[in-house]
Amino acid sequence: MSLNKNRVVVAMSGGVDSSTCAYLLKKQGYEVIGITMQIWQDPSEDYTYREGGCCSIGAVYDARKVAEKLGIPYYVLNFKEEFNQKVIEYFIEEYVRGRTPNPCIACNRYIKFEALLHKAMEIDAYYLATGHYTRIEYDVVSGRYLLKKAVDKSKDQSYALYNLTQDQLEHLLMPLGYFTKSQIRDIAKEAGLPVAEKPDSQEICFVNDDYKEFLKEKASGRIKPGPIVDKNGRILGQHKGIAFYTIGQRRGLGISAGKPLYVVDIDRKRNAVVVGEEKDLLTQEFTADQVNWIAFDALTEKKRVLAKIRYNFDEKPAEIMPLNSGMVKVVFDEPQKSVTPGQSVVFYDGDVVLGGGIISERIR
């Protein structure tokens, strides 16, 4: 397929980042087309404007205003079915299984960089661009595209993009990775973009305030109460459903033990929430599956890395080693708190993202 290398689709969420991304690329001479993904499931639901909200009806209004200001074509495309299947159903299923999902990573993997990239190519665009703070660079030595941390480390979003493939990276532009957030705000103001002062989006886009209420509505028949137990199996109380608890949780346990207790494990087979002291949250070894590598094709031997187990955690020194079926064993130099099945672990070599996977099981 012959694609237009000057044409770029920008995923516009109505926020300052994606809007400034569109502005920068137009300024560089690209033929820019703005697209917002329509993912809300039910017109009767409250998907109207929320402060900083992503992909809401209000976000479409803001994105359209920016497109008019820039003089670029703008469209809203329906990704409702894909989003429901790949993000919402996954979100519910993981919590029901007693795991803690990351819906933004699932959305990036299946919606933005699969479904939307495919749509971009259908309209002859060689590139899809987003407002992510990360850098994509081609390494002539390895002959591979590399994903690197953003210049602004406080805004770096490389953790959420570890699933990108070489084929996808070739067709992606992420210009914000070379700027700080304050610079992007300044550029938006100078360009007169109507969203220059708009707050950043923080919440899960399809959940209003409380994910527990969302789960009660969507999966009520699959969530059952059960025991809260200590490490020795002694029953201390009752939980409302393992879907409502996550590793490291301290509040909302509804039990009194004379000392702080934390959720240290979730036992799906027994439908039990296991609690313990803060020291019981420490884990040094775990396995990861659904692994994707960016910097090389496959892990064939032990390797020293920096490993990051949550978006807002610092990466820590570790050794990784290949296991059967493409899985990876991770051994931290020092035990880490709240290693959580369902969350992602991402491996770095300095600023370079080597790859990542889903935390599957902690090794005691």
Report the alpha-carbon distance of residue 103 to residue 87 in Å, rounded. 6
Burial 248-269 (b: 16+ CB within 10 A, else e): bbeeebeeeeeeebbbbbbeee
Active-site residue, from 21, 54, 55, 205? 205
Is residue 78 a contact partner of residue 40, using CB atoms and an 8 Å limit?
Answer: no
Q: 15: annotated binding-site residue? A: yes
Q: 106: annotated binding-site residue? A: no
Q: Where are the alpha helices (DSSP H) in the chain?
A: 16-27, 57-70, 80-83, 89-96, 103-106, 117-122, 166-169, 181-190, 211-219
Residue 54 annotated in active site: no
Any idea how long the chain is?
364
Q: If we measure between CA atoms, which residue out of 169, 219, 173 comes closest to residue 31?
A: 173
Q: 321: annotated binding-site residue? A: no
Q: 16: annotated binding-site residue? A: yes
Residue 201 is classified by DSSP as: P
Q: Name residues whose C-beta falls within 8 Å of residue 323's C-beta, 6 or more positions apart in sequence.
A: 287, 329
Write phi, then psi, for 27 (nearest 5 degrees).
-65, -30
Residue 222 is classified by DSSP as: G
Q: 17: annotated binding-site residue? A: yes
Q: Name residues whose C-beta falls within 8 Å of residue 33's C-beta, 6 or more positions apart in sequence.
A: 7, 8, 9, 10, 72, 73, 74, 75, 123, 125
Q: 152: annotated binding-site residue? A: no
Radius of gyration of the chain (CA): 22
Q: 220: annotated binding-site residue? A: no
Q: 336 - beta bridge partners?
A: 283
Report the alpha-carbon distance of residue 260 to residue 63 in Å, rounded. 46
Q: 22: annotated binding-site residue? A: no
Is residue 350 a contact partner of residue 340, using CB atoms and an 8 Å limit?
Answer: no
Active-site residue, from 21, 54, 55, 107? 107
Please report, in range form, the residues annotated as the binding site. 11-18, 37, 131
Please report, in range form, the residues annotated as the binding site for ATP. 11-18, 37, 131
Point out the residues that are catalytic. 107, 205
